[in-house]
Homo-oligomer: A and B are copies of this chain.
Amino acid sequence: MGAIMKRVMLVIAYDGTRYCGWQMQPNGLTIEEILNRMLTEVLNEPIAVIGASRTDSGVHALGNVAVFDTITQVPAEKISFVLNQRLPKDIVIQQSKEVPLQFHPRQCISKKTYQYSILNSRFQVPTKRLYSYFLYVPLKVEAMSLAADYLVGEHDFKSYCSTRTRATDTVRRIYDIKVEKIEDTITITISGNGFLYNMVRIIVGTLINVGLQAYSPDHVKEILEQKDRLVAGPKAPAHGLTLKGIEFPDLLELP
């Protein structure tokens, strides 16, 4: 009797400070590498995870998603507990569960939500330094919010994408962007059906330029229309960015 293959989904939170991002690479430790190594060890079979979002070096996640196939008899729900006992403290598996074999976290439709945090105060706050971008020049939050509205909807985001992208289709849909200020922290929350390489960080860098009054809010729309990376703002630093979570509407409908 052959072993039965199942696909297991993980919901993963991590502090990206120590890591060279999600994707395996020769220059440093990545989340993907740690998960593959731990799972291979724990389940005693070679495991390779497929991540939904290949976050950049230094970016944090509260709910990234990955799947892997296994013939283990360990119930899918228990795998999170086993992993959490061994993982470093800056990586936590929040959930593990079986999903249909045809579920692929990058090919299925999804809604991803990112949050970017800017500490906009006179002084750096040491306990916030790892998770927000410190800027002491006061930003005009209302102008940033107006500018953000131009990006909502389906657009060609070629201007807001690293030139190193491999994507040929640069059209994406942004469902919502909110710019809020609570005390000294400005939070930009963006959700969409997918994001190009560095897209969130370039949008944030461009909105910061609006907040600094270097751009008028409607210039963000002109940048969009020019489809040229060189006309957009700089890429905001990685450590202010957190992948909040990913929803998969299809997952509910799969058998």
Interface residues of A (CB under 8 A from B): 13-15, 60, 62, 89-92, 94, 122-127, 129-131, 242
Contact = CB atoms under 8 A, between A and B. Distances in A.
Contacts of A91: 126
A113 to B, nearest CB: 15
Contact of A123 (B90, B94, B123): B94
A126 B92 contact: yes
A90 B127 CA distance: 7
A226 B90 CA distance: 42
B92 A13 contact: no
28 contacts: A13-B123, A13-B124, A13-B125, A13-B126, A13-B127, A14-B126, A15-B126, A15-B127, A15-B129, A60-B126, A60-B127, A62-B125, A62-B127, A89-B124, A89-B126, A89-B129, A90-B126, A90-B129, A91-B126, A92-B123, A92-B124, A92-B125, A92-B126, A94-B122, A94-B123, A127-B130, A127-B131, A127-B242
A122 B80 CA distance: 13
Nearest to A122: B94
Contacts of A123: 13, 92, 94
A122 to B, nearest CB: 8
Contacts of A60: 126-127
